[in-house]
Chains A and B, each alone.
Chain A
Amino acid sequence: MDLNFSKEDLAFRDEVKEFLDKEYPKHIKQKMENGDELSREEIVEWHKCVAKKGWMGHSWPVEHGGTGWDATKVYIYLRELALAGCPTFVPFGLQMVAPVIWTFGSDEQKKKFLPRILNFDDWWCQGYSEPGSGSDLASLKCKAVREGDEYVINGQKTWTTLGQHADWIFVLVRTDDSGKKQEGITFILVDMKTPGVEVKPIITIDGDHEVNEVWFDNVRVPAENIVGEEGQGWTYAKFLLFHERSSIAGAPQMRRAINKLKNKAKNVYHGSEPLSEDKNFLSKVAQFELDLDALEMTELRGLAAMREGKSPGAESSLLKIKGTELQQRISTLAVEVSGHDAMPYGGPYGFSDVEVAATKDAQLSAPKYLNFRKVTIYGGTNEIQKNIIAKAVLGI
């Protein structure tokens, strides 16, 4: 056992660095550094740039276009991307619906959807939660009724992230309500352009439009778009959630963020001294870095297991809880470092029309802090994750 990279790994790291140096679009890099909002086109451009290199499928099996990297390479790859400040991949196609399709989907579905996901030709979004079904997801009511070769969907989904940009949505619908609530759920793929699909924005406390309600009014979907068997959707839904949860820990991004904060603290006053010399601050940073080390190693263990063909299981809940807690801690620390300069609010991406004296970094710290309140709620609240660990890991 050792933590050193092999020669081959180091060469791979250089290859990733070189790719980013040359191919990571400069205008996107600049916007990411400024904390500016990326347009839909720019997000697509970034994904296409990675797809062109053939590196989108870092977590995919080789037969569907995956890179076939071992855990170390995946780790190196994601870490370099994060350190270079690249946008995170939109996970709904790549990391969520794709594993469901290649595991449970038909050959036609695999052929139709997987290459387009890998190439980011389609933008996917998620239709899981409903106003009355959050933590208790299995109580969902959005209804699909079979009529000939079609299903007719009626109902509402909510918290659909970036649904305003999406081409496709995977939806959990109720096709039968006669039995237990987990039975009678079906996993169905819906083209967002189908008549009757309506996306309505939800504005969050940071002022951003990221999540949406998605309404279905007599939406007719070809029956071939259900994944697996009718009524078995809950099994696929849980399988997907494990994948979702294992992809939101975000350790490399936090590594970059804490380094940035440490630097910033050198130029910020704490009383009459620089904040970087304050014992309270240093101890918060140290505790954060220690926790981050432990998170990163836990993530690596998970990656290694995945490469050995094990699907991420309930253990992904550990990563979700710890990762999101740390994300919130660092977003809080960023507000503290910014002090009163965190107060001016020019929207979730800063001011576009007036020049204010506080740095943009400082101004953005509060919206980011507020935005990050969601992370302990989405993907299954952290309270639910603890229930899962208690039941599925500890067996109590």
Chain B
Amino acid sequence: MNLSYTDEQNLLRDSVSKFCSSDYDFETRMKSVDSESGYNPEHWKLFAELGWLAIPFSEELGGLDGNNVDLSLIFEEFGKSIIVEPYLANVVLSGGILKRGDLESKTQILEELISGTKQISLANYEPNKGYNLDNVDCEISSDGVVNGTKNTVLNAPNADFFIVFGRQGSGYAFALIPKDASGLEVVGYKTYDGFVSGDLKLNNCKAEAVFSSKNALEILDETIQDAIVCICSEAIGAMEKCYKLTIEYTQQREQFGQSLSKFQALQHRMVDMFMETEFTKSFLLKVLATEDVSEKTKLIYGLKNQVAKAGKKVGEEAVQLHGGMGVTQEMSVGHYLKRLMVISHLFGSSDYFLDKYIDS
């Protein structure tokens, strides 16, 4: 048994952590959030230069042969600064589909993704259809014509290409669609955590390519599992920041002639926040250290259930203990709660994953 990170992983963590703590303070983040594209292209370029966009891809695809543990520690650091740059959408989701899929041009398109020159968004969820991955109406015909509506397509307004998941005959497939394809309308918007997303309206839209029609659903499922591990790691980073911010604030804020942190009732609440974070972190390590695929899948469902509850609780407590200041846009703590809340239902709610845990 070995629960420690490798030297290489520690170096990676240091490098991400250094960026997040020195180049990504709260004001910098909010500048990205308030900008038109919702992220800072300079940061994206830097991520590419540092090789971060290449991590989860094999060497033959131009990547660094990294694994889930590498991604997890990147996301944990991202979570501490609630980084809005579209790493999840591009590298984990679209990259995850492409590396597993049989798209002919995948080497070339991944090269563009890894170099940061092109962005790609995965479009699988549909309005009012819940979280089951196979619950889609979107149709991809045998000659590559796509019809349907997708929503909450992460990073849609910045995407150069979309990977659209839909039904094909009695199975499923992916369609690769450039952003300017005729028959495609993109409605971009912010999501309530400050990220960007969008709806796709596909009306007889001709795909550039259709791929993985034999195992699209399996590929999607595996990719979403990777993404769940990433956002759960991100949540843990955000939770850690939440209790630290709260300790700092309650030490500074004085009421009734002493700092709030001296009140025992509040101390216990902060201890609970810390404990929630630590136990969630332990659960994450269990997931990362598990090798058996079906056991790992079950544990990922359990992790998402745990994170949805614990992240929400820690975020809410952080806001509550900040008092009125906690609900203002100018304090960072509320923005951590927003991200934790989105993570709590992204890819499925706590109840949804509890059921999946029980059933698998």
Contacts and interface: CB of A to CB of B under 8 A. Distances in A.
B38 to A, nearest CB: 11
Contact of A356 (B151, B265, B355): B151
Interface residues of A, number: 55
B151 A340 contact: yes
B155 to A, nearest CB: 12
B171 interface: no
Contacts of A280: 351, 354-355
- Which of B128, B316, B327, B342 has its CB near the most chain A CB atoms (within 10 A)? B327
A267 B130 CA distance: 10
A7 to B, nearest CB: 45
Interface in B315-354: 316, 319-320, 323-324, 326-330, 334-335, 337-338, 341-342, 345-346, 349, 351-352, 354
- Which of A281, A335, A357 has its CB near the most chain B CB atoms (within 10 A)? A357
B152 interface: yes
B181 interface: no
B190 interface: yes
B351 A336 contact: yes
A261 interface: no
Contact of B326 (A207, A346, A373): A373
Interface in A332-353: 332, 335-336, 339-346, 351
Interface string B292-317: 00000000000000000000100010
Label chain B's interface by main secondary structure. mixed
A214 to B, nearest CB: 14
A159 B325 CA distance: 10
Interface stretch (A78-86, A132-140, A237-245, A300-308): A132-140
B335 A205 contact: yes
Given A204-B328, A344-B152, A376 B199 contact: no
- Which of A159, A344, A351, A356 has its CB near the most chain B CB atoms (within 10 A)? A344
A119 interface: no
Given A340-B131, A369-B341, A383 B266 contact: yes
B197 interface: yes
A139 B329 contact: no
A351 B151 CA distance: 15
Contacts of B329: 203-205, 207
A200 to B, nearest CB: 12
Nearest to B126: A357
A69 interface: no
A74 interface: no
B78 interface: no
A203 B255 contact: no
B256 A355 contact: no
A370 B334 contact: yes
A267 B128 CA distance: 8
Contacts of A374: 324, 327
Interface in A235-276: 267-272, 275
A373 B315 CA distance: 11
Interface string A365-385: 011011001101110010100
B335 A366 contact: no
B134 to A, nearest CB: 9
Interface of A: 129, 132-136, 139, 158-159, 202-205, 207, 267-272, 275, 278, 280-281, 332, 335-336, 339-346, 351, 354-359, 362, 366-367, 369-370, 373-374, 376-378, 381, 383, 386
Given A135-B255, A268-B128, A339-B345, 12 more contacts: A133-B255, A159-B324, A205-B334, A269-B129, A271-B352, A272-B135, A278-B351, A278-B355, A344-B191, A356-B151, A358-B151, A377-B327
Interface of B: 125-132, 135, 149, 151-152, 187, 189-193, 197, 199, 201, 254-257, 265-266, 312, 316, 319-320, 323-324, 326-330, 334-335, 337-338, 341-342, 345-346, 349, 351-352, 354-356
5 contacts: A139-B255, A356-B187, A370-B327, A381-B323, A386-B265
